[in-house]
Amino acid sequence: MAIKVGINGFGRMGRLSIRAGWNWPEIEFVHINETKGGTKAAAHLLKFDSVHGRWTPEVESGENQVIIDGKYLSFTEHSQPGEVPWEDLGVDIVLECSGKFRTPATLDPYFQRGVQKVIVAAPVKEEALNIVMGVNDHLYEPEKHHLLTAASCTTNCLAPVVKVIHEGLGIKHGVITTIHDNTNTQTIVDAPHKDLRRARATSMSLIPTSTGSATAIGLIYPELNGKLNGLAVRVPLLNASLTDCVFEVVRPTTIAEVNGLLKTASTQEPLIGILGYEERPLVSIDYKDDPRSAIIDALSTMVVNQTQVKILAWYDNEWGYANRMVELAQKVALSLHK
């Protein structure tokens, strides 16, 4: 019997998580909570996506319902998680995709409403298990961990690369730059924003801004805490991003060895299907709809003075992350069956 899943926040991640997980037998989507647009907008945007195209299933809207291939998902428009009757709806797991609730205190109302597990589609800094599938998902203990986060899309791109290089060569320290697509945290035209660079029009500039993806690696590899940092450059594209990784490694290496380590890891557990390896001269659009978290651009790998390593990793920052969210939900769902 499938574990019932609800979604809070039906924006980019909420909708793409349903697309990614719709046919997974272990989970059953039963409820959507979204404050904007009602069922008509929810159904329309689930069916038609400007980046990822038209979804194959038939999607319709009804009164307090979204209907997907004849299956009815209930729909509410509450502003707070604790206002949604999750237990009455039979929801076991909630995918928290609103981006608004990112602390244990603001997420606790889910558990008060009878939800067993909450998976947040954003970093949660306190009292939550930060999971990157293929890297540290083995740390999940069903009896202990009820609040989980799938980290961020960039952390999911970076962590598999760090895993391979750190375990194979040893990382002393490093810096990353993510060349990242536009997101809804930016503005179409100039508008007030606490980050004055993000206040500027998205389509007219390359916009340097912050990212916590590199420092978050310290939550996964404590020995690297304080030894990795980075920044982001937002670019006027809608899909497929790139992480530029520069590491100082412990022992001398070569381009051939670095690429060999990454290529081998991409074909073996636990990173098969999560880490990719590409030797063809591709560009960002070629990675749209790629479900993997990171795809190594092998042609761009560099080694300077034997110990400074530069690696480029492509990723579909939406679709790759949505797939990891669903895989984590599947892992959690299977644990609830036991």
The yes-or-no answer on residue 245 being catalytic is no
Given this model, what pLDDT does residue 106 score?
Answer: 95
**pLDDT > 70: percent of the chain:** 100
The neighbouring-strand residues paired with 210 are 231
Mean pLDDT across the stretch 41-67?
98
pTM of the model: 0.95
Where in the chain do CATH 3.40.50.720 domains reside?
Answer: 3-122
Alpha helices in the chain (DSSP H): 12-21, 38-47, 104-112, 153-168, 213-220, 255-266, 319-337
Given this model, what pLDDT does residue 258 score?
Answer: 99
The answer, yes or no, to whether residue 64 has pLDDT greater than 90, is yes
The answer, yes or no, to whether residue 214 has pLDDT greater than 90, is no
Rounded to whole angstroms, the maximal C-alpha distance in the chain is 65
Given this model, what pLDDT does residue 184 score?
Answer: 85
Given this model, what pLDDT does residue 209 score?
Answer: 94
Q: Which pLDDT tens digit goes with each residue over 101-131?
A: 999 999 999 999 999 999 999 998 778 999 9
Q: Which residue has the higher pLDDT, 21 or 338?
A: 21
Given this model, what pLDDT does residue 127 score?
Answer: 80
Q: Which pLDDT tens digit goes with each residue over 249-287?
A: 999 999 999 999 999 999 999 999 999 999 999 999 999
Where in the chain do CATH 3.30.360.10 domains reside?
Answer: 153-317
Phi, psi (rounded to 5 degrees) for 272: -60, 130
Pick the catalytic residue: 97, 153, 157, 245? 153
| Spatial separation of the C-alpha atoms in residues 81 and 103, rounded to whole Å | 13
Residue 21 CB-half CA count within 13 A: 30
Given this model, what pLDDT does residue 72 score?
Answer: 98
Distances in Å between the Cα of 336 and the Cα atoms of 122, 124, 330 are 23, 22, 10
First-to-last alpha carbon distance for the chain, in angstroms, is 12
Class of domain 153-317: alpha beta
Q: Which residue has the higher pLDDT, 99 or 177?
A: 177
| Spatial separation of the C-alpha atoms in residues 12 and 15, rounded to whole Å | 6
Q: Which pLDDT tens digit goes with each residue over 129-171?
A: 999 999 999 999 999 999 999 999 999 999 999 999 999 999 9
Q: Which CATH architecture has domain 3-122?
A: 3-Layer(aba) Sandwich (3.40)
Query: Mean pLDDT in the chain?
Result: 96
The answer, yes or no, to whether residue 338 has pLDDT greater than 70, is no
Q: Angle of helix 38-47 relative to helix 12-21, nearest 10 degrees?
A: 60
